[in-house]
Amino acid sequence: MNSTTNTQLFFEKLKSFVDNKELVKLQLTGKRNQLSDLKKIIITAVEIKKGYCLNFVYRYNTMDITKNFDTQEGLDIIAKAMENDFYNAEMFAKNEHVSLIILPNGKAQIKTIQQTLQAQPTLTHDRVKERLIDTYNNIYLCELEITNANGEIRREMGDKFKQINKYIELLAPYLTELSVKESLHFADMGSGKGYLTFALYDYLSNNLKIKTNATGVEYREDLVNICNSIAHKAHFEGLKFIKGSIEKTELEHVDILIALHACDTATDDAIFRGIKSNAELIVCAPCCHKQISKALNVTNELSNVTKFGILKERQAEIITDIIRAMILQAFGYKTNVLEFISLDHTPKNVMIVGKKTHKLKKDKQQILNDIKAIKQLFGNPSANLSFSFSHPIKKECRLSLV
């Protein structure tokens, strides 16, 4: 069989799997350009509000970007990617496993294996995640009014449930790699109603079977009381919520520190606490970024980048999160920036994950100098840098002194 026929055959099969809703997963790997940051694309079929779509996860060296396309557009993108960007495509359908390999001489090989074990197409974004957090007999989900008394997800809480599952799904690979295997302590800074605190405690204790102690730190006493009462009802003996501030609350040894949507610069305080307590894993999903936005003062050739209000806001968010990620790197954390949840649900969808490593790729001082250069580009060069981007810089200075 010649190459064009093999490639055609592969795409015909792919189209038929998609049309018959049998596609489980397709992976494009073996990048053609070694300098490209894009390592692979993972495609699954999903059923979302707007209908049956293809979900693309673009896996870069340090981040994932997720996008949904309608099926025809998705198929066109896959064909283009195989032409220009990747050598290998591996496709899993209900009963078949098909791979396409483009050889350096341009010839294409196709291999088909009939699967004995039937893979099931996922179809919804949530099927996998639903398995991670079980709704059956789940006391805290019911108390938090995510499920009703029958254990069914309440219609209006569907997005929250998706968020919880996405969060656990993203963290799962990091959690299984933790050096602490038998017992650990995690702190959730700005725990709010505790949705994610309960889910993480549940996953660590019940799925990974790690003896877990956890502390939710929260300003609001009413939320602290509600969460403690739910923890008691759920028999989560190792989980407690305390009233206090992210900045000052005393904590016992922390293995994992999380701060999800902690307001404004509270995320910086949380990162600071995490680094200072030498946490193995630091996870934050920043909320608003008011501080840097106010301090942006671009007078150089980049001034047009901050000319329009809404784009200035977004630029400020990006710069803030880049600085946060770089600070983590400077202090010995291998850092990834991920999409926490699809933009359809919330614009606050960035998650920064730092994992302590002893093999730093870059020298700490070099990274701190790089941060300074970013601030110089976007801040007021004549002002004292410590104050031009007051909060994260203050943290960085404090961190430098640790």
State in angstroms the smallest separation of the CB of 244 from ligand SAM. 7
- Within 8 A by CB and 6+ apart from 131, the residues are none
- Using Cβ positions, the residue closest to ligand SAM within the complex turns out to be 192
Long-range contacts of 227-234 (CB under 8 A, 24+ apart): 227/191, 227/193, 227/194, 227/197, 227/198, 230/139, 230/140, 230/143, 230/144, 230/194, 230/198, 231/140, 231/194, 231/198, 233/139, 233/140, 233/143, 234/139, 234/140, 234/143, 234/198
For ligand SAM, the closer CB: 175 or 189: 189
Nearer to ligand SAM, 87 or 174 (CB): 174
Q: How many residues does the chain have?
A: 402
In the bound state with ligand SAM, the residue whose beta carbon lies nearer, of 240 and 261, is 261
State the nearest-atom distance from the C-beta of 236 to ligand SAM, in Å: 17
Nearer to ligand SAM among residue 238 and residue 244 (C-beta): 244
Angle at 255 between CA 275 and CA 258, to 5 degrees: 70
| Chain contacts with ligand SAM (rule: CB under 6 A) | 190-192, 195-196, 217-220, 223, 245-247, 260-263, 266, 287
Minimum gap (Å) between residue 195 Cβ and ligand SAM: 5
Least separation, in Å, of the C-beta of 271 and ligand SAM? 12
- Give me the least distance between CB of 293 and ligand SAM, in Å please: 18
- Identity of the residue, 261 or 394, whose beta carbon is nearer to ligand SAM in the bound complex: 261
List, as one string, the DSSP characters of 62-117. Answer: SBEEEEEEEHHHHHHHHHHHHHHTEEEEEEEESSEEEEEEE-TTS-EEEEEEE-SS
On whether the CB atoms of residues 391 and 265 are closer than 8 A, the answer is yes
| Nearer residue to ligand SAM within complex by CB, 225 or 303 | 225
Q: How far is the CB of 333 from ligand SAM (least distance, A)?
A: 20
